[in-house]
Structures are given as structure tokens and as C-alpha cells.
Structure 1
Amino acid sequence: MFLFRNVHSLVKEIIDNEEYIEQTIKKLSNDTSSKDINYSIFAKAIAAGDLFKNILGPKGMDKILQYKMSDEPDASQLFITNDRATILSKIDDDNQMAKVLDISKLQYDKFGDGRTSVIVLAIELLRQMEILLAKKIHPQTIITGWQKATNEALTVLEGIAKNNSSNLVHFKTDLINISRTTFTSNILQGKKEHFSKLCVYAILKLHDEIDLKHIQIIKHLGHNLSDSYLEEGFLLTNCIGINMPKCIENARILIANIPLNTDKIKETGSSICVDSSTKVTELELSEKEKMKDIVEKILQYNCNVFINRESIYNYFEQLLVEKGITAIQYTDFPSIQRLAQILSGDILSTFNISSDNIHFGKCNLIEEILIGEDKFVKFSGVAKGEICTIVLFSNTQEILDEVEQSIHDVLCVLSKIIKEPRICYGGASEDESLVIESFASALQQLPAIIAQNTGYYSIELITNLCDAHISGKSTFGLDIEKGIIADMVQLGIFESFDLKRQVVIRAREAVETILRNNNII
């Protein structure tokens, strides 16, 4: 584990190191075609990018980050993470590398994985660019050559990619292997198999409707992490009203965001003075009549379940029970929005809309369940297809948050695999097959860095890996558990073909962005 006193100060220390920048400029001083390049940007990119090298791969190290919350002397926060996005977000805003290499965010947003690979590969390409510029090769020539190299790399990936989607058993095995490979959190060591299966079963339930909003993640304090499980249907953190049925079949659901309290005195906290108890009774009767009018409006929609974001008073619930309508109240707005989308229903803001002009939520079954000591309302059998919920258990909120992020990343990768089912083998088995000199030299650093982070002698491993590929063993890669070269097919280490393809493309694009900059205006 590496201790960083402060990410801000560390990056500034590297960036502001005049000797470091002068050495970089001196190396390029003989290149007359690139004198106008802003070398400070160049140096910043390499220096800041090196922060990510030792978090690459499944054995990547954690970081202890400390950053200031404000200008106060003691206003700082300390936490441990190996999340690449978090580290990058703590780099100074004036650091051009953070802006330029933020192209890796496109990789993360699209696939949920591969961000570190993009950054590290881009930095290694920058080092190769430094050598090429020293040989007085024009930047445009470098860009053109690397575009050809990228095309060659993608051709190699195309050649080794496999598609097992026609065989459900093999495809399911591929998905589990990819999930296991994608999980990098140290917290999940020893539990990857369990959580990989949870993610695969969840993604396969979506069938053709690949929308991750249909996979819910609920975090619950208590029990062990290994007790986490997959629940059928969508869970709403709430409970069904008093004296109402706890199980409703063939539900026709009216979803609303309407304040049912017409008593402005209660609502605003005001007071009113009356001179007799009779007038108090008259006020209460008037309030009840207003509630009855609202219930009559709800009855016109011919629904058997009413879900409202606002509160529902006891008398209002009593009226709904008498009419055979189940009520659920106090639903937060994000949840009710998501529920409406899943149930294919509209959210009403007024009862003055004809039932012909709205869509009702529908599902086969609504029931109240217990998870630990908390009550949830479960919706299953929806019109849009299968939905499910991953229920996470742990004794600390920090672990729950990190596992949730890891599961989200894996689900993103799996959703792309469903759409583009081709896979390639992991362990850097494809990187060594690319033989365009400068580009391949940068690619070669990826398995080398992974080996270094694991604690093995990288030169020997990379040499053996090259020999294996030359002899035709294209599926061989690094076995980081044993420190040897092994067949990735037998180890079950797979990666998404589309993800790997985008890593190569994004890294080249990031370097081109830096290379094309010859000034800052």
C-alpha cells in the first residue's frame, strides 16, 4: 500500500519540479519540428499518469488519499481507495493531464471498466512518442503511423475473439468468467464466484431489454457479505398501509405525486380560533368530506393499488380500505420515478385527468416482505419483462458502498457483452501479438506493469510470454497467482472484446490530443 500525503501536493510537486521539465525539454530540444509543443503539458501528462501504474491489474495497490475540504488547516479528509475515477478527480483542476486524459472517462461511462488501462497505455505511448520526436519524426507522421497500428491491433483482436452466444451453457460460463475477471475490489477476495453468479443471473433476467435500471441494488447493514442474494422483482423501501392486504395479484396501479392534505391550517402550521366545540366538529366534517371527494376521484380510475409520494392520513386510508384499494405512501421521488418507468405507468400530478389519457402501472404480484427488520414492498411480473434486485449485506457502510460500485461496473461490462458477445482472453494474451514496433512497445508495458504490481520478475515473464506467442500459443497470458505463463482458456480469464478494442482506441485518441496541442491560448 502506498501512502500519498496529498494528491494535490504530490501532483504539484511532480509538475512544478523544474528539473524534471527541463530534462524533458532538453531531450526534445533537437527536434525542430516540435519546438512549439507545450512541454509542460507533456511532462504533466507523464508525471500524473504514473500515479495510476501501480493500481493496474487485479493485484493493484490501494491508495491512501488525503485532500483538503476547505482552506481551514484541519479541514481534510482521509480515505483508502483504488478507484481510478476518485484518484483522477482529486488532481488539481489546472492540471492539463486531468483534462486531456479524461477521455478515459468515456471508456468508464460506456463499459464500466478499462479506465486504468486507457491511462497507462496512453502514458506508455507518450514515452514512445518522446523517443520518436527525438529522432525528428514529425508529429503528424506519428499520428498517421499509430492510426495504422491501431487498425492492425484491432485486426489481431478480431482474429482471436470468440463468440459462444449460440451455446447458452458456454455463454453463461463466459459471462461468469468475465465477471470474475472484472471484479478488482480487494474486499471481494474469496467471494468473487458468489458475486459473479449474482451479476450474471441478474443480467440474464433482462432478456432482450438490456436496461440496468431494471436491476436494483439495495444495501442493508447487518449479516455477512456472503449472505447477499438476488431477489426476484423490484423492491420499494416502504410498507403497505394498515389493515390492507399484504398480497395483491394482477395489480392495476395508480401512481401519483399529489398532496392529499386540503387542510391549509395543518399544512402551514397556522392556528384558528373558534368559540364552540360545534364549529370544531364542523371543520372536521368538512375535512372528511373533502377526503371522500378525493377517494371518489380515485375510484373513477378503477385501480386496486394507489401509490402516492405524499402522505396519506389514517381516515383517508380507512376510506380506501372500504373501497378495496391498497395504498402505499411516503415514497421518495427518485424511487417513484424508477417504479413508474419499470411498471410502464404515468405519475399523476392532478386527478382532473381522464383515465383514457394515462397509463396505469401493471404487475402480476405485489407483496410486503421483510429483509432483516426492514419492510419492503415487492413488485414482480411487470409488463416490460423481468426485473430483479441484488440485496447486499455488510456490517459497515463503506464496504457496502464499494461493493455496490464494483457490482455496477461488472453489470455495465456484462450489458455490453450481451450486445457484443465476442470475448478475448485476458492476462495480456492479446497484447503481445501486436508487432508494430513503437505501438507494440507501449502495449508490452501493460503486462509488464501488471507483473510488477503482482511482485514477480516482469522481464522473465514477458520474455516467456513473447516466446509462447511466437510458438503459436496465442491464448497464453500471465497467471498472476503462480507467477507463470499459462493458458487463459483453462484458467477461465476472459475479457470483453469490445472493451479491449475501446481501450486501444481511447488511449491512442488521448495521446493524439496531447500531440496535436502546440500551444495554450
Structure 2
Amino acid sequence: MFGGGRAPILVLSQNTKRESGRKVQLENINAGKQIADVIRTCLGPQAMLKMLMDPMGGIVMTNDGNAILREITVQHPAAKSMIEIARTQDEEVGDGTTSVIVLAGEMLAAAEQFLEQQIHPTVIIRQYRQALEDIVLLLEGPLSVPIDKSDKAALANVVKGCIGTKFIGKWSDLAVSIALDAVHTVMFEENGRTEVDIKRYAKVEKIPGGSIEDSQILRGVMLNKDVTHPKMKRYIENPRIILLDCNLEYKKGESQTNVEITSDGDFTKMLELEEEHVRRQCEAIIALKPDVVFTEKGISDLAQHFLLKAGISAVRRLRKSDNNRIARACGATIVNRTEELQESDVGTGAGLFEIKKLGDEYFCYITMCKNPKACTIVLRGASKDILNETERNLQDALQVARNIVLFPRLVPGGGAIEMAVAQKLLGKATHGPYRALAHALEIIPRTLAQNCGANTIRTLTALRAKHANHLDANTPCTWGIDGETGELVEQKEKGLWEPLAVKLQTYKTAIETAILLLRIDDIVSGSKKRDKEGPTPSQLAKEDSVAPQD
């Protein structure tokens, strides 16, 4: 690009903004606090909803921290990295997105006083890192309790605690049973390793109409598809299912193919060859006597004719992900060439194939599977907004159920674990930043109290006293805040527990983000302006590229 063998030069022109030092650190802290303030009212059972309008004019109503931050547009780079941590939290453990933002904002705010006292950021960061190590040891040790994975009632309690703060909380029993069933259905154990892939094998289908109580989980798969020919059977018990990933159509040339026709018979011969190819494909399928054929590609009219004569129902143009789910549900193998079909490829695990009409759409059900390793959750609701919010809440419930199955340890909810960790850290604290981080953890119980209108100072003082008087070092103090009323309750009796995996990820992400933002001491942004302020770096590069060679 650059002529004359000269090295490229970074040009900082007059229009390049440059800020550095303490001012930048305080600005970053301010940006983090502002993002946390937006999200703070979305914590707890009395959480308020946010109504967001996207650029296309669509409306999102939610109190899911991650969903809100996805829709917000911000300019400040520090605010962008705060938004990114909610996404990380959501992808990693699926819950705690609001908590992680609130905590990160408070930890940044806690560092502000030390920066103003001219304490170097490295000193603060060292203390924060030490505190994080101590928190992890406490949580994995005396402050968490194990749970029996086979105890359904205990698992249901934990999932209920997660969705009690959401829109779907009113139908919590239904949501909990759906979430636990889905996780146990898609759980796959191989070589002593447990895999729970919710994204790929637990599909959520949203159908407007009906009420939320009509939602259900199917032991199998549901697709928004109909059979290709109106005379094909729409109800088959114990079907034999074949899954294909190829066209049931005439063979097309792989690359550009030219055919020259010279005589009358040539065209007829070509048509006969095409027909012969489709007939051979269909005969290979019919030989295995299936009842239903699914393919990801197309099915020609001729192939439909052959399959219909043999009494076989056909469904075409499936998504790859749907085909994989059917394979897991009924035990079939997806085949790429019809000539290679074998008896072992046929799926016989499904109890029922049927096509139903819901509203204006046709849906294909493959249900009553003997040992499905995939499932479909059918959500019903009054409008698309309600369905979207229900789906977001249900995804959180599914992730929490998955976390408990994979990491069966719990910590008390309702701000109890934050207060317990804060008390332990304050007992060890020797430096200011370490103490400040311990106090920052109290933002969770404080926000819970604020959101339900309780007297914050009185409530927190009473909660601190309860934790200070807890003398057993080997068990966590379970006194926390009832998010509905703002009163102090013992979470052990109320049964409000949270998965350890979610809390660990929340603290790690929040503290690491605070450390990252405190390490920034310079922001350089080169914004392009027109020629009146002189040439931009790209223009200089262009001029350089056409310069004569030396």
C-alpha cells in the first residue's frame, strides 16, 4: 500500500481526541455506574419492567438485564465493556445478568475514593484480586451446600427461586416442571461425562393464541411443516422414520453443465434418465418400508407420486437443526445418499406421527418417543410480546436447571450469600480497597430492599447483626431479604437457594471487569473530519501510495 519503501506512520491530527490519567479512570467509573443505575430496578421479585423501542419500531418489554442491554446503544467504550459482561454471563450460566452489572458498577464506585486519595490503581487491583481469590475459596468451601441431583423437589425449589423475579413467576410451577423435564430429557452421558446441550436439543416453539397455562413440553419434536402431498397420511402410530440430507429430484450437474441436443430423441432420453434417477432413489427408500420420510432438501412431484403410491408420507425442506433433533428423538440416522440406506438407519423410537392445525399453520408432531434425547417446548400466549418475554424467562430457568445438574452445589439467595461473604472478608480485611470491595457486595441486599420499598438502612443494619452473630464457621448464615416484602427471612426455611455456578461466575466477571476498567489510563479516538481540518491518516496514506519511487 505504501510506495517508495517508506514505513507507515500513525498520524495524530488535530481532530484526534486524547484523554489520559486520573480523568479517564473517573470517567470509566462514571460510565459503569450509569449502566448499573439503568439496570438496578430490575433486580428481585418486585423488579420493574423496561419498555425498549428498537430502531425498526418494535417494542421489547422485559426485566431481563441481558435483553435490556442488548437493545441499548452507548458511545462510551467503558459502558460498552459493561454491556459485554452481561452477554458473557448469559452465555456462560444463563442467569445473574442483572446482578453482575449492579455488582461491577458498585465495585468501580468503591474504587473512586481511593483514586481521589492518589492511591495508584495497581494497589487497588492487587487488593481486588486477593479478595476474588478469597471469595472463590469461601464459596467452594464452607459457604455452599451440596444438593442431591435426584431430589426433584429440591431442584424445583432452586429453579423457582430463579424465575420468581421474572414475568413468568405467576406460572412458576408449570415453568419449573417444563425446565426440569427438558434438562433431564436432553441430558446425555457418555464416557463418564455429562452433556446437557439445551440450545441444540431443547427447541422452544412460540405459537400465539391460547393462554400460558396451555404451554407444554413434548416427548419428541414439533415442526412448523405439513406433508408435501394432500393425500399423504397425517396420522401414523409407531412410524418407521427415514431422515435424508439429499434431494429426491433429478440429478443436477455439480458445476456448470452444457448439454447439446441434436435430434428429437435426445430430449426424451434426457427426461427418461431424470425419471429413472428419481425412480431408483424412491425404490431404495421403499425397500425399507418406512412410514415417513424427512429430507432437508426438495422432493420433486415425481418422487411424491412414487412415495404416495407406496403409502409413505413425506416432509421436505427441514432445517439441519430440526433434522438433528428428530434423529436424537427417534433413533434414526441422517443419510446423504439413498443408495446407502440400511435397516439400522431407520428410526423406530417414535410412538406417533401426526399433523395438527393450530391457528392458520400446520404443525408436524413426532411424539411419544421411547427414549428421546431431544424435546420441544410449546409456548402459548396472548401476544408475541408476552411469548418473547416468556421464552427469555424460560431460557433462564433451563440454564439454572442445567447448572444444578452439572454442578450440584447451592448458596442461599435473597442477598444472604453476599452478606455472608462480606462479613468473612471484613474479618480478614487489612487494606482499604479490600474492605471497600467487601462493602460493595452489600449492594445486592440493599437493592433488593430498595426495590420493594423497605427502610434500607434499618433492614441492612438488622441483616448485618444477624450475620455477625452467626458463629458456626462451617455453615453459611442463611438470613437474607424477602424480595416481596422487604423483611428479613431465613432462606433455609423459605427454601430460596441459588446455584453456586451462577454466583461464582457473577463474582468473577464483576471483579475482573472492575479490574480491567481500572487499568485503563488512556483513551485515544481518531475520529475523521473533513478536509477543513487537514488531511486524515487514510488520505495521507493514499497520497503516499501514489508517490513516485525513490
> Which runs of structure 2 are paired with 1:202-281 in the superposition (5 Å)?
202-207=182-187, 208=189, 209-212=195-198, 213-240=200-227, 242-244=231-233, 246-249=235-238, 251-258=240-247, 260=249
What does 1:96-115 correspond to in 2, within 5 Å? 96-101=77-82, 102-115=84-97
Paired residue for 1:10?
none
> 474-483 vs 360-369, which deviates more?
360-369
Corresponding residue for residue 43 of structure 1: 30
Task: Report whether the alignment pairs 1:485 with 2:466.
Answer: no
| The 10-residue stretch of structure 1 (501-510 or 172-181) with the greater mean CA deviation from structure 2 | 172-181
- CA change 1:98–1:261 in 2 (3 A) is farther
Aligned to 1:432, which of 419, 423, 426?
A: 419
Q: Work out whether 1:176 is the aligned partner of 2:156.
A: yes
Pair 418,85 (structure 1): closer, same or farther in 2 beyond 3 Å: same
For residue 191 of structure 1, give the secondary structure of its aligned residue in structure 2. Answer: helix
SS of match in other structure, 2:522: coil
Q: What corresponds to 1:456 in structure 2?
A: 454
Alignment of 1:153-192 (within 5 A): 153-157=135-139, 158-165=141-148, 168=150, 171-183=151-163, 187-192=167-172
**1:363 and 2:366 aligned:** no
Amino acid at match of 1:481: E
Q: Work out whether residues 178 and 494 of structure 1, in 8 Å CA contact, stay in contact via their aligned partners in 2.
A: yes
How far the C-alpha of 1:94 sits from its partner, in A, is 2.9
| 1:100 CA drift (Å) | 2.1
AA in 2 matched with 1:81: T
Q: Distance in 1 between matches of 2:217 and 2:336?
A: 34
Say which structure, 1 or 2, has more relative contact order (CA 8 Å, 6+ apart).
2
Match of 2:520 among 502, 506, 517: 517
Within the candidate set 334, 340, 351, 1:354 is matched to 340
Residue identity matched to 2:485: K
CA distance in 1 between partners of 2:267 and 2:122 (Å): 85
**AA matched with 1:388:** C
Distance apart, 1:388 and its partner CA: 2.6
Q: Distance in 1 between matches of 2:171 and 2:88?
A: 29
- The answer to whether 1:474 aligns with 2:477 is yes
Summarize deviations over 1:400-452 as a string: whole Å, max 9, x none.
11111111121012111101010111111111122332112101111101111
Q: Which shifted more, 499-508 or 206-215?
A: 206-215
Q: Is 1:137 matched up with 2:126?
A: no
Contact conserved, 2:156 with 2:176, CA < 8 A, in 1? Answer: yes
Question: Corresponding residue for 1:381?
Answer: 369
**1:440/1:39 CA distance change after superposition, 3 Å:** closer
Matches of 1:94 and 1:358, distance apart in 2: 57
Aligned residue pairs total 469
The CA distance in 2 between the partners of 1:159 and 1:458, in whole Å, is 28
Once residues 354 and 189 of structure 1 are traced to their aligned partners in structure 2, the CA distance between those partners, rounded to angstroms, is: 51
Structure-1 residue corresponding to 2:176 = 196
Structure 2 counterpart SS, 1:160: coil
Number of the residue aligned with 1:124? 106
Distance in 2 between the 1:232 and 1:371 partners? Answer: 19
Question: SS at the partner of 1:465?
Answer: helix
1:355-402 deviation per Cα after TM superposition (whole angstroms, max 9, x unaligned)? 47996555343421536464423155377x543322211121111111
Is the contact made by 1:165 and 1:421 (CA closer than 8 Å) also made in structure 2?
yes
C-alpha displacement at 1:331, in angstroms? 2.7
What's the CA shift string for 1:56-87, capped at 9, x where partnerless? 22222112334545xxxxxx555433232233
Root-mean-square deviation (Å) = 3.5
SS in 2 for 1:483: coil
- Cα 1:443–1:354 change in 2 (3 A) is same
What does 1:404-415 correspond to in 2, within 5 Å?
Answer: 404-415=391-402
- 1:505 is matched with 508
Say whether the 8 Å CA contact 2:63–2:166 is kept in structure 1: no
Provide the rounded CA distance (Å) in 1 between the counterparts of 2:171 and 2:59.
Answer: 27
Structure-1 residue corresponding to 2:442: 444
Deviations 1:457-498 (A, max 9, x none): 111111111111122281111112232101112212111111
Of 70, 83, 96 in structure 1, the residue corresponding to residue 64 of structure 2 is 83
Provide the rounded CA distance (Å) in 2 between the counterparts of 1:460 and 1:371: 58
Residues 90 and 205 of structure 1: is their aligned pair in 2 closer, same or farther, counting only changes over 3 Å?
A: closer
Q: Which runs of 5+ in 1 are unaligned?
A: 1-21, 26-33, 70-75, 265-274
Note if contact 1:424-1:495 (Cα within 8 Å) is conserved in structure 2: yes
Read off the aligned partner of 1:211 and give its amino acid letter: D
Deviations 1:298-330 (A, max 9, x none): 346775542123443555334224446442234
Task: Give the equivalent residue in structure 1 for 2:532.
Answer: none
Q: Deviations over 1:101-123 (max 9, x none)?
A: 21232111011111111111111
Query: Which 4+ stretches in 1 moved above 6 angstroms?
Result: 279-287
Secondary structure at 1:363's aligned position in 2?
Answer: coil
Q: Secondary structure at the match of 1:137?
A: coil
Distance in 2 between residues matched to 1:281 and 1:105, nearest whole Å:
60
Aligned equivalents of 2:340 and 2:355: distance in 1?
A: 34
Q: C-alpha displacement at 1:180, in angstroms?
A: 1.5
Q: Percent identity?
A: 25
